[in-house]
Structure 1
């Protein structure tokens, strides 16, 4: 007589199944999001490389401002400077030096680069003085929008500042409050530059995407072995 087939329920652990069903699309969505971020970073990297390799131009020749655009200015540095706190180079804490540069057409906020912090917090670093008329080269970099405040007066802070935003640039009276100029390494009056233009490249996001997709595959395998009867059915059918 032929063997009678036995009906065996496929799912044997519904709590694990429901949990896996909720986690699986989340892991896939995170992987797709990281791939999207990788694409955005690839476009940004190409844009960055193209602009950083271009020849600097004078602002009067530009139709509009775009980040990373190399420009050159002729003028002189104002006497006052400010120290942007908690900036690191090679693991060492220091400051980025901010100073206004005066040209016949406008006042610009210049980031001259990085200097190490003294061993004592109460001390401030000595900044090399840059006097006289000079031509400087640098790259346009956006200034963060300031958070809304309750009509606080826009007065200049102490020499040491914690963040660079449009409230600070408005207090300085620069003409282009939403933009600063990061000096190029070979520019006159530049300090230590080594600018970090992009926090992470597309390769890192692709690696994150692979991790999320791998976790999704592992989750599916664990679900199949812990919450279903695939293994039991395969053994029964082989008999």
Structure 2
């Protein structure tokens, strides 16, 4: 009859000992082994690699946003300048500072038979040519002036030997457009109606232009213009913004990948949820 009492005493001592350890741990301010906190980072190589690439991706996104802001500012300046009052160009020398890039202009005169085909120009993926033609202003007592006009784009034929036919009015016309750099620097003689790779191949002596540093690109509403569709800005602000979104998306994906593969976030959240549900029950 004494054996059960001894067994009961041992069980009571075992229970008392466990409780005493928990109480002493609580008194010392240290969590019990089961309640020990889990380290947040468990994969340091992946963490260090993420720390190297995350700032790079964020900086690239910010750079693209800054580029978008710069391009938008340039676009606003171009729109303001192109919407201004056109400068009437004649044989008289223009005022100082009047000839600026993208400045709108208006001319009264006629086309000469001196035109050239600027090769390897594309529109919507199609290869063609831009037509550069001399336009002469002034008549009678008005001083004459000669300008190089870019009339726009014509599609190429099925064979390189087939050049497009360039039509132009013989009567006097009023044309509108805007100034664009030409930088005519050639010294030789280029036969009219021939192919050129750049306006720089043309000769100032041959064409006798009043302003060889400039060409005039026709606006779309000019009745003598071909396909214009001028791309004044190579990359639009919207495209830069799209690039920025892509970089930020990659940074977000990298951050999520790091949280899932290099940290114990899921385990920590699961333990917190388990403790919360245990207290509620």
**TM-score, length-normalised on structure 1?**
0.79
Is 1:53 the counterpart of 2:83 in the alignment?
yes
How many residue pairs get aligned? The number is 232
Contact 1:78 1:102 in 2 (8 A): yes
Give the alignment partner of residue 19 of structure 1, picking from 23, 35, 49: 49
The answer for the alignment partner of 1:81 in structure 2 is 115
Following the alignment from structure 1 to structure 2, what is the Cα–Cα distance between the partners of residues 169 and 180?
Answer: 14
The root-mean-square deviation of aligned C-alpha atoms, in Å, is 3.1
Match of 2:130 among 96, 115, 119: 96
Gaps of 5+ in 1: 147-152
Does residue 233 (structure 1) correspond to residue 268 (structure 2)? The answer is yes
Q: Secondary structure at the match of 2:87?
A: coil
Residue among 201, 218, 228 paired with 1:193: 228
Deviation sequence 1:21-46 (CA, Å, 0-9, x none): 22111211111111112112222222
2:8 corresponds to: none
Change (3 A) 1:93 1:227: same
Is the helix fraction higher in 1 or 2?
A: 2
Higher CA-based Rg: 2
Distance 1:219 1:177, change over 3 A: farther
What stretches of structure 2 of length at least 5 have no aligned partner? 1-21, 26-31, 138-142, 276-281
Asked if the contact 1:109/1:169 (under 8 Å) is kept, the reply is: no
Aligned residue among 180, 184, 188 for 1:155: 188
1:115 aligns with 2:149: no
Look up the SS of the partner of 1:58 in the other structure.
strand
